[in-house]
Chain A
C-alpha cells in the first residue's frame, strides 16, 4: 500500500521519475516545468537516484542529449513546457523516427506571442504530428500515474516510441492536491528493467544511427512508423490493466462520465474535465441527460473507440484549450474525424476556452450545456467555432 501525500503535479511527476531512476536526464528549465526538474535535480544531488543529469544550454540541446543517451542504450527522461517544446521541434521528430522511448512530462503552457507563462494546450497540440505518444492528465494523480505507465508503454518491445505526459501548467503543476504514491519497490517492479534495443554502446556490434534515407526508402520507413502507432492502443490498455491490478486506479484510452444514457455531451481534456463533471451533475439533477468524454490518449487518437462511445448522442460540444488559427480547434478536428464514421451524426459545436491560463469557470460549462440543450432540440448549429470566456 502506497502513501497518501499532499503535493503539486510537478512534485508528483518528479517523484515518479525518482522512483523510476532513469539512466540519463538532460534538461533545461522553463516555466512551469522548471520546478519538476529542479526537484529531480535535488534527488540527483542528494544521491537518491543514480541518474546522470546533463545540464544543457537549451531545450534543443536537451532533446539532442536525450536522443544520444537513448541511442547509447539508456532509459531517458526530460521535461519541458511551451517555448521549450517549440525549440525541441526538430529533435522531437528525430526521437520518434529513430524509435527512442524517451519520456517527457510536458507541463502545458501557452505559446508566444504575446508572452504568457500560463496553462493551455498550444504546445502539446503543436507537437501532435511529431510521432510521439501523448497522454493528457486531469490532475496530479493522473500525471503521476501516467508518467509511470508511459515508461512501460514507450519501452514495450512492440512500440519503442517516445511519449509525452501532459498536465495543465500551474492549474495542475503548481496546485497542491491529494495524491496516492505507489511504493518504490512496486514502481520499480512495474516498469521493469530497461531493455536496450540496438545500443550504440554495444561496441562488439557497431552500428550507425541517423542515416540519410532518400526517395528509395523514406516512404517505407514512414509506413513502418505509422504501423507501430496502430499497435499503441492495445499496449496502453494492457499497461492500464496491470496498473489497475497494482493500484485499483482504472485508466483507458479515454474516460467517460455519465455518458452511457446521455443525449448531449462535452468532450474536453485535462483539468477542465473536473469542473465540467461538477456542472454535469447539476444538470443531471435538473433532468438534463448530459455526459462527458475526456480523451486521455491524444496520440495515437482512438477514433473508432471514441466514435462508439459518442454514437448515441444528439449534440456534442468539443472544448479546445488551443486554437488552430484559420481552422477548428485541434480536438474538434479529431472528434469530427471520429464522428465521420457514424451513420447518424450528432450536431457538433466547438468552443475555444482558457487560453493563456484564463480560468475555466462553472458558468462557461453552463453556457455550453445550455447551448447543447438547444442544439439537441433543434438539430441546428448556428456557429461551429466560438471563443468562450472572452472579455467583451
Chain B
C-alpha cells in the first residue's frame, strides 16, 4: 500500500538535509532595504557579525561586498551598528520601492 503524504514526513519534524535553509529566501519579507555606501565603509565587519541572517557578503579576502538581498529581511540592525567613517554611516535604510 502506498503511503499517505503525512506518513512520509521525517519523524519529529527533523530536517535531515543540512543547509537547506539556503533554499528559503526571506528577502520578500523586506519593506525597508539597507544600502551600502562603500566610501564610508571602514571594513570593520560589524554588519556581517550582527546580521541575524546571511545577507552581508564577505569575499575570499575577508572584505565586505554588497548585500545579498535574497535573504535580507530589512531588520536594520546592520545600519544601527555600523560605525561608518567620520560620523557618516556606511549603511542607510531606505524604503522599498522608492
Contact = CB atoms under 8 A, between A and B. Distances in A.
A213 B13 CA distance: 8
Interface in A176-213: 197-198, 205-211, 213
Interface stretch (B14-22, B28-36, B40-48): B14-22
A208 B5 contact: no
Interface in A207-258: 207-211, 213, 217, 220-221, 223-224, 227
Interface of A: 97-100, 160, 197-198, 205-211, 213, 217, 220-221, 223-224, 227
Main secondary structure of the interface of A (DSSP, over half): loop
- Kindly name the residue among B10, B13, B14, B16 whose own CB sees the greatest number of chain A CB atoms within 10 A: B13
A99 B12 contact: yes
B16 A100 contact: no
Nearest to A198: B14
Contacts, number: 51
A206 B16 CA distance: 7
Contacts of A198: 10-12, 14, 16
B12 A160 contact: yes
Interface of B: 5-7, 9-21
Contact of B9 (A206, A207, A209, A220): A220
A207 B20 CA distance: 9
Nearest to B18: A206
A98 B18 contact: no
A63 to B, nearest CB: 16
Contacts of A209: 12, 14-15
B18 A223 contact: no
- Kindly name the residue among A208, A209, A223 whose own CB sees the greatest number of chain B CB atoms within 10 A: A208
A217 B14 CA distance: 13
- Kindly name the residue among B5, B10, B12, B21 whose own CB sees the greatest number of chain A CB atoms within 10 A: B12
A99 B11 contact: yes
A213 B12 CA distance: 11
Contacts of B13: 97-98, 210-211, 213, 221
Given A160-B11, A207-B18, 6 more contacts: A99-B12, A205-B16, A205-B18, A206-B18, A207-B15, A223-B6
